[in-house]
Amino acid sequence: MLSRQKLFWLSRVYDLPGSDARFLQAVRDNCAYHIRHCPEYRLICEAEGFSPDCLHTIDDLAKLPLLPTLFFKRHHVSSMPEWRTAMRVTSSGTSGSFSRVGFDWGCIFAEIPMVLRLGFYHKLVSPVPARYVILGYKPGKQDRMGVARTMFGLTHFAPPVGRFYALEWKNGGYVPNLDGAVKTLARWARGSLPVRIVAFPSYLWFGMERLEELGCTLGPAVKATGGASRSKVWLKIRASILNKPMSVPEALTSAVGCAMLAAAQEMGGLGNASRAMSRVKLVVEPDTALTAPYQELYQKFREECRTEYGI
């Protein structure tokens, strides 16, 4: 399926109109492959009257048969022999059962250039070593969770010299250590190397709440930096989840921070230098229509943390 290589190797990563034709071709080829090689999927498509030939426009993607994740948790289906599967991962299994996903070498080789291109586009790739605080699972031999391996992979955009995981495997299960994450973050922040936080919005929200519980004062807005601050959609999502405005500075590079440190002595302190040299380019407010649904989902997440981990 060379169509997936052509799609993933597209030079302009966010050129959606320019990639529509490649995307549709990749979906058609992908569906045709699974129909040929997976009897269960073929029966589902036949029952729904679906054929890859009916995909002519982006709107036609709505004709794809919907397969709920529960189907993959209850049934193991495959479209390729085991010997072609280069990597196997699972879902997190928070409901007690797992979905299993296999990747062949062609898929992996198609993805690597795409991931690197996104990393360079968002200026995540750096030769400067960094320390990482990962608000997620620590990968290990005890599981094959895809999310744990994804977060581990994200710690290679800059050479990792230290990693701290908020969820560690102990006594047959994952145990959260948010206080340790806060203390590690505070200790590393005093060092000379950059510190990167790898987290999903709910974990970020959880971490901010924990900081406030420990006596830290958080401002009315959250400053967003890094590659993700380039996306207004992602900023709106984060603002709505945190229910705080996301403030994007005009300059996102670490060179500005170095300049502030150099000017601090002449300007009467780092605070004065920061206020004088840091300008806000954009403020994204929470969407009130999204805040309530996100709050409901977050409370379910918090309740599960209290029930499962006592925090």
Work out the end-to-end distance of the chain between its first and last CA atoms, rounded to an integer number of angstroms.
Answer: 47
What was the pLDDT predicted at 58?
A: 87
pLDDT of 43 reads: 94
Instruction: Please give the pLDDT value at position 258.
Output: 67
Q: Measured between alpha carbons, how far is 230 from 235 in angstroms, rounded to an integer? A: 8
Tell me the three state secondary structure of residue 305: helix
Determine the Cα–Cα distance for residues 166 and 171; give it in Å rounded to an integer: 16
The pairing of beta strand 280-284 with beta strand 246-249? antiparallel
Summarize pLDDT for 137-177 with one digit per residue, the tens.
Answer: 888 887 788 888 888 888 999 999 999 998 888 887 777 78
pLDDT tens by residue, 76-103: 888 988 888 888 888 776 656 778 888 8
For 222, list phi and psi in degrees, rounded to 5: -110, 130
pLDDT of residue 56: 93
| Separation of alpha carbons 295 and 201, rounded Å | 12
DSSP assignment of 110-136: HHHHHHHHHHHHTT---SS-EEEEEEE
Rounded CA-CA distance 127/133 in Å is 18
Q: Which residues of the chain fall short of a pLDDT of 70?
A: 1, 93-96, 200-205, 216-218, 225-228, 230-231, 233-234, 251-258, 270-271, 275, 277, 304-305, 308-311
**Strand-strand pairing, 160-170 and 222-223:** unpaired
Identify which of 282, 273, 200 has the alpha carbon closest to the alpha carbon of residue 249. 282
Collapse the DSSP code of 92 into the 3-class scheme (helix H, G, I; strand E, B; otherwise coil) and give the result. Answer: coil
pTM: 0.62
**Coil, strand or helix: which one is 150?**
helix
